[in-house]
Amino acid sequence: MVANKRWTLTIFAAFLLCLGCSWALLQPPYGISDEPAHAIKALATSNGQLRGPQSVGQFGYNSMEYQVPSAYSSIWHFTCYSGDVKATPVCAPPFPNGVEEIGVTSTAAEYPPAYYAIVGAFGWINPGQTGLFLMRMATVILFSFFITLSAKLLINNGYAHRLGTLLICATPTVLSFSGAVNPFSPEVGASILYWTSGLLLLKSPTSKSSGLIASVYIGAFFFGTIRPASFLWILISMSAILLVSPDFRALVSTFRKRTNSLHFLMSSALGVLASISWYLFGMQTRNLGGGSPAGGELLDNMMTSFHQTPSYLRQIFGFFGWTTFYAPTPVMFLLLLALLFLFFCNRRYRKAEIIGLICLLAFLFAGPAVFEGARAAGSGFGFQGRYLIPVAVGLPIVLTVGGQKINKNLFLTAAIPVLAITSHLISLSHVAKRFLVGLDGPFFWPSEIEWSGFGGEMAILLSIGMTLVTGLLVVVNQVLQTVEAEAI
């Protein structure tokens, strides 16, 4: 059984790495939202430059100037193709080389340094396109670490057949950002670890589990230190976890005991404290971005944001490039179907779990209107649906570890990883077609590739091939794990 658990975790981790590597190879340099700003910030932070001269950067946002290799100075490398999904990156100039340090601005200057300190050093190894790819791969590994650790917790706590849940949480939008220099996917990975470990801890409030305790501290800390103002998402997530927890009524009595409930509260407080400390003392402007001119009345702004709800929800499932194109419609359908199957895999949910799920759904629909409407007068509209994902991941995770009895329907449980992995492969192929031949190119795009990606055509095709193979192995393993779990 131990070997079986190791094999389950190994092939799942291999699939994540292959999938992330494929995204890193096929997306062009600076071809994902805000990658230039985050790459410059990462290079500077890893080189000890925490602050720099104030200036006005991309799109008129506040920025700082850092000294980085000149190879990374062409921050507008993406402009010739980003607005046209039929155009490929062949129109872009060659990615420059150069190790001499020059001043380059970054609009991500006031983001917390944790993520950037980890990945930025790889960009100095071989400045240029290779260095950018190495930073991307460092992001892939960091993101995969959080998801793999979450998978290990599920396996060790009797949910080895439910790893498909993590592939519902980490939607194609998240995987796209995992193949870029951007802190978004590690933030989501940390939030998944926080939700998974927190719910499992509170499900067994008095049992000893050093792995769960360590994981909830790791998840909460990185959840709070990767992106600005994460304390809002932690507080919302913490409230939802406590709401659905079977130990909720006993929380008052835990402050004098080293129970799992107390560890959950302490880890959450650590994440909130780390996040709010940076927000108050590390950020001078508190500028979290905005996409249109500021102004307007509060209620009018809230209604404007609420009318964008369908777009926000769609962006959760697949939103690529510089916010220019979505995943095919079947991707959202497959992931929603997998979520529905996950719900019906359990026969009975407690009242608190039902209330918690309803509250999470209400937040997904109303949250953007409240938060965006409240700040739009000061900083304009700039919300994206992907910002909801660190909280939205709670839905499938609650459905996985919640409920009182597993349904004996093998089809429902076995179909979940099939649906989730299929949605990821469709998205990967869709984005590959867009960048390699253009969306109006041939259906069988590998035959007429125009742009050869980071490492050439063979590197992309080999990586995608490995993704297919490891994905198939994950599906087969999950089906076998489901049969074994239902037989018990």
Q: For the segment 110-161, what is each residue's pLDDT rounded down to a tens digit? A: 899 999 999 999 999 999 999 999 999 999 999 999 999 999 999 999 899 8
DSSP, collapsed to helix, strand or coil, labels residue 174 as: helix
* Cα separation, 253 vs 341, whole angstroms: 37
Q: Which residues contact 445 (CB under 8 A, 6 or more apart)?
A: 429, 432, 433, 436, 437
CA dihedral 234, 238, 244, 246 (to 10 degrees): 150
pTM of the complete model: 0.93
Q: Residue written as tokens 């410059």?
A: 40
Q: What's the rounded mean pLDDT across residues 306-314?
A: 87
* Cα separation, 399 vs 407, whole angstroms: 13
Q: What percent of the chain has pLDDT over 70?
A: 89
Q: What distance lies between CA 114 and its chain's CA centroid?
A: 16
Is pLDDT of 1 > 50? Answer: no
Q: Residue 406 — φ and ψ, nearest 5°?
A: -75, 130
- Looking at mean pLDDT, say which of 142-146, 161-165, 414-418, 443-447 comes out highest: 142-146
Is pLDDT of 284 > 80? Answer: no
